Amino acid sequence: MRPVVGVLALQGDVREHAAMLEQAGARVLPVRRLSELSEVDGLVLPGGESTTMSRLLESFELLEPLRVRIADGMPAFGSCAGMILLARQALDGRPDQQQLGGLDIVVRRNAFGRQVDSFEEDLEFTGFDGPPLHAVFIRAPWVEKVGDGVEVLARVPDSQAAGDAADRIVAVRQGAVLATAFHPELTGDERVHRLFVDMVREAGSQTMEER
């Protein structure tokens, strides 16, 4: 099955995610309207600026429909700003910033610092085989707290590049919702996207069995 995976196309790394999803075996649909959201089996929320994306979701009347679809079990994957949006709570955000609440986590915006503090690191990632995952962090969040149902997939290793970020949680999964603090769409390694596409296929198979 080649699932239809949407990429929220209001702001951020839309093309990069779309290319990786195609390589991972999905048909990709940019999502800007409610009619497009209704056509997808899963959705990627890309990196960008989380407060801007939050306002755009409201402006395009996608915020509440997206909350409902995620609550109903639609698989979702958020990278960087997408992780912030999927969290139940974001620290250091704007008072009017909206959350989708798909993950029982608390994140801290821009936890790694400003753009100049961006860095790269190799991570041990739970969920697929192979060598460590090379991760690119750009004004990234990290996870301060996880709920009981959240699986931690990756932490920053204790290295010279990591500094105070050592051992911070940077990838999580809760059911059909996946999130990374880094940008897997920028490295050419499609394993995170392949994991998500597999999650979408699994959710689709379960839905068909229930019918």
Active-site residue among 17, 121, 183, 193? 183
Q: Is 80 among the residues known to form the active site? A: yes
DSSP string for residues in 85-109: HHEEEEET--TT------EEEEEET
Q: Is 17 among the residues known to form the active site? A: no
Active-site residue among 17, 185, 190, 193? 185
Active-site residue among 80, 121, 190, 193? 80
Look at residue 33 and give its three-state secondary structure: coil
Alpha-carbon gap, residue 66 to 70, rounded angstroms:
6
Cα dihedral sign for 95, 100, 101, 103? Answer: negative
Q: Is 151 among the residues known to form the active site? A: no
Side-chain half-sphere CA neighbours of 18 within 13 A: 12
Identify the CA nearest to 149 among candidates 103, 112, 184, 186.
103
Say how many C-beta atoms besides its own lie within 10 A of residue 92's C-beta: 12
Active-site positions read 80, 183, 185
